[in-house]
Amino acid sequence: MLPAGTDELVGAYSGWDDRVAAILSKAKGDILSFALYHRRRDPVWVDGRVALVGDACHAMLPYQAQGASQAMEDAAVLAEELGGATDDVIDIALRRYVDRRAKHAGMVQDASLQNKAFYHYPDGPQQQARDELLRQGFDGESDVSYHWLWSGTPLNDPDLGAYEYRFAR
Ligand SMILES: Cc1cc2nc3c(=O)[nH]c(=O)nc-3n(C[C@H](O)[C@H](O)[C@H](O)COP(=O)(O)OP(=O)(O)OC[C@H]3O[C@@H](n4cnc5c(N)ncnc54)[C@H](O)[C@@H]3O)c2cc1C
């Protein structure tokens, strides 16, 4: 991260609606500039009894606003797996945690990348079609279907929740 000034912030949006510049010009305090990276699906989440969760194993672009959500889902599933595990099956529990989470988190990483393109079309027919879609009360936020992302629960036992599950055993 690098410190940046108000001028740089406003300058990054030159050509946008004047109201954007007006809002940004009022920024006070520290302004930081940082790069956004797409990360490939991480093939290694567990090494021995060390397991990764969250950004450590599936850092993603922000275009689905899902980084923290996915980290929490990791934690919930990990708690569910470890909550029922005795010492001799911890390795299996960690493997099951990865099996339950890696594919899903990877899909969100990919969908976030897809949204990057969707949100950044240059002015032209594609951008106009997108804007029209959004204007018409599009059922979603982008052209990525959200049903798989926003429906259901990562937990096997959604009624209990991870915390109660541990103590109910
Ligand atoms: C501007 C911005 C907006 C965002 N908006 C959203 C959003 O709307 N919705 C959403 O779901 N996600 C959002 N995210 C993403 C979300 O913040 C992250 O995906 C989430 O915080 C990841 O959680 P984490 O626990 O994996 O990592 P972190 O929250 O990064 O936690 C890691 C912690 O480890 C600590 N740490 C690092 N190294 C060490 C060390 N050596 N020893 C001890 N501690 C250490 C760090 O200080 C930090 O506290 C946003 C992120 C940013 C930057």
pLDDT at 162: 42
CA distances 130 to 12, 112, 116, 124, 137, Å, are 23, 17, 13, 10, 12
Q: What atom of ligand 1 comes closest to residue 74's alpha carbon? A: 26
Answer yes or no: is the C-beta of 39 below 6 A from any ligand 1 atom.
no
| pLDDT higher at 86 or 168 | 86
Kindly indicate the confidence band of residue 167, based on its pLDDT and cuts at 50, 70 and 90.
very low
Sketch the domain layout of the chain as residue ranges. Answer: 1-35, 38-168
User: Is a pLDDT exceeding 90 seen at residue 101?
Assistant: yes
User: Is a pLDDT exceeding 50 seen at residue 158?
Assistant: yes
Rounded distance, CA 52 to CA 163, Å? 19
Kindly indicate the confidence band of residue 168, based on its pLDDT and cuts at 50, 70 and 90.
very low
Answer yes or no: is the C-beta of 66 below 6 A from any ligand 1 atom.
yes
pLDDT at 60: 96
Q: What atom of ligand 1 comes closest to residue 70's alpha carbon? A: 11
Rounded distance, CA 38 to CA 115, Å? 12
Q: What atom of ligand 1 comes closest to residue 56's alpha carbon? A: 26
Rounded distance, CA 48 to CA 65, Å? 31
Closest-CA residue, ligand 1 atom 6, reads 65
Among the ranges given (33-42, 67-76, 108-117, 135-144), the one the predictor scored with the smallest mean pLDDT: 135-144
- By the 10 Å C-beta count (0-12 exposed, 13-18 middle, 19+ buried), 35 is classed as exposed
Rounded distance, CA 109 to CA 70, Å? 10
